[in-house]
Amino acid sequence: MWCEDEGGPYQTKPYLGSSWQPAGQSGHLSHEYQRNGTVKMMTLFHPASGAVRIKGVPSCTNAVLHAWLKKELAAILDSQPTAGPELSPAENRAIWESWREGLTVKATLSDVLPPLRMLLVMDNLKGHHTPEFVRWLFAQGVLPLYTPLAGSWLNMAESIQRIIKRRGLEGQHPTSADQIIAWLDATANGWNADPTPFEWGGKRKVRRQRARAKRYQLAGSGALSRRPIRHRLSAYQQWRYTYQLTH
């Protein structure tokens, strides 16, 4: 299963980050900034491994998003094994339908379906229902699952986008869209060097309590991780930590 989402837009303005200041004096940001464009972050996230694929773009139209998704999804599918048990057409269709049970928004399945190879969780945006794009997904063995209205928290890509945005932009003042794109790309590359798998936390109270005892809650969706996400220390926190160790 992979999750897809579009983060942003991120503006060329100062981003609040961890800070310290003398007692009685609040932190300040510039009261004005140059609006030099915005950036959207197209995201594909694999919760089981923690791997993320992103691309920053100044505009995220259907033409841009669909072209990028087709390229990335094709690469992912090419890296997966294709061999599997032989199924009759009826058995194969039953597998596709089993993942759509209970959904209120369903795309009409093609008459001839290949083996199901991927579930793609997506927001319920009009552009994601484009017939040409949906038919392409079906032809590749990809079943799109759309989150309901006001249900974006069901998409675990929301969590990874918050982490990347926070690590890449907080405490910074980008002056161009290209700079934002470069910082987001660098942050995603750093994350993929040591990714953290996400797990679904569920809704039931007992499951939540058990999950909190063993896992770590992540903002933006119902995702959890088995280990804490490492947070970057500010310069002052690093100095204070070093001072405490040496004195």
Asked whether the whole model's pTM tops 0.95, one would answer no
Please check whether residue 40 is in contact with residue 56, taking contact to mean a CB–CB distance below 8 angstroms: yes
Between 40-49, 188-197, 209-218, 221-230, the lowest mean confidence (pLDDT) is in 209-218
- Is pLDDT above 70 for 195? yes
Residue 82: its pLDDT value, please?
73
Q: Domains along the chain?
A: 1-10+35-78+107-191 (3.30.420.10)
Instruction: For residue range 204-229, list pLDDT tens digits in order.
Output: 556 666 656 666 777 777 787 877 77
pLDDT in tens, 155-174: 889 889 999 998 888 878 88
How confident is the model at residue 240, as a pLDDT? 74
CB atoms within 10 A of CB 160: 30
Tokens of 205: 């109270």
CA dihedral sign, ordered 2, 51, 69, 187: positive
What is the per-residue pLDDT across 74-105, written as a single tens digit (0 to 9) for each?
Answer: 999 999 877 667 888 899 999 999 998 888 77
Element (H, E) at 89: helix 89-98
pLDDT for the residue 31: 63
pLDDT grade, residue 21 (50/70/90)?
low
Phi, psi torsion values for 158, nearest 5 degrees: -60, -40
Query: How many whole angstroms separate alpha carbon 201 and alpha carbon 211?
Result: 6
Amino acid, single-letter form, for residue 133: F
Contact (Cβ atoms closer than 8 angstroms) between residue 40 and residue 30:
no
Model confidence at 20: pLDDT above 80 = no
CA distance 194 to 167: 15
pLDDT at residue 182, as a whole number: 93
Instruction: Please tell me the predicted confidence (pLDDT) of residue 68.
Output: 94
- Average pLDDT, integer, range 237-242: 72
pLDDT at 30 over 80: no
